[in-house]
Amino acid sequence: MGKQVLEGVELVKDYETRSVSTRALDGVSMSIEEGEFSVLAGPSGSGKTTLLNLLGTLDAPTSGRVFIDSTDVSTLSEAERSRLRLQKLGFVFQAFNLIPVLTAAENVEFVLLLQGVGGAERRKRAVSLLGEFGLAELANKRPPEMSGGQQQRVAVARAIAADPRIVLADEPTANLDSKTAESLLDLMLEMNRQRGVTFLFSTHDPRVMHRARRILHLVDGRIAEDERRA
């Protein structure tokens, strides 16, 4: 383990609906160091996806602070937060969220394009990553021409293409069959071990938890247990 990548301090999140306030997170404090393969675990409604969204700056807390590489996100403008997400964070979503009109290679290149990386270098990185992910023959295929498992592999390749400080993965196996999910998880674990990619998942999938070296168990918007494994 090494430098702290991500930290949440006393995070509270309330949702207001028809004058009724619901507390989704209740004073959560936690941090992630580089090289971790960690999980936010808990049943539906426990707050794990809410916490992941706050840590990824996709949503703002009612109170509390988020630090990414020691930068207090609350001090940044929306434009600065967007730039921080682009430079520091990778995302993998349950619904894949690939751009349907782009090929697999173009989807992987997309973040690099936003970062201003030149065309030749973008394509080189994308093709190399797709090869590592066993998807070289799909470089010119679009998402509708791929299986769910192939799309999620492309999504993971896109997430790590720009060498983010951490990849946040929200229920990445939820839409996959058992064999495909196992294969994807093994691939992400290999990326963690070989490339040092830091992963934080939100999930209630036991297959993900089995591979994790740290599990933060959430119950009713609080961390009930911080389980670390050798």
Task: Specify the 3-state DSSP secondary structure of 140.
Answer: coil
Q: List the chain domain ranges.
A: 4-228
59 has a pLDDT exceeding 90:
yes
**What's the pLDDT band for 2 if we cut at 50, 70, 90?**
confident
Q: What is the pLDDT of residue 126?
A: 94
What is the tens place of the pLDDT at every residue in 73-95? 999 999 999 999 999 999 998 88
- pLDDT (average), residues 152-162: 93
Long-range contacts, stretch 140-147, CB < 8 angstroms, 24+ apart:
140/103, 140/104, 140/105, 141/103, 141/104, 142/100, 142/101, 142/102, 142/103, 142/104, 143/96, 143/98, 143/99, 143/100, 143/102, 143/104, 143/107, 144/100, 146/104, 147/180
Q: What is the pLDDT of residue 175?
A: 86
- pLDDT (average), residues 13-22: 89
Taking domain 4-228, whether its CATH number is 3.40.630.40 is answered by no
Listed residue (95, 89, 94, 123) closest to 108, CA to CA: 123
- Percent above pLDDT 70 for the chain: 100
Q: What is the pLDDT of residue 48?
A: 93
CA distance 2 to 52: 21
Q: Which residue has the tokens 């349907």?
A: 100
- pLDDT (average), residues 102-121: 93
Asked if residue 124 lies in contact with residue 143, where contact means CB atoms within 8 angstroms, the answer is no
Mean pLDDT taken over the chain: 93
**What's the pLDDT band for 1 if we cut at 50, 70, 90?**
low
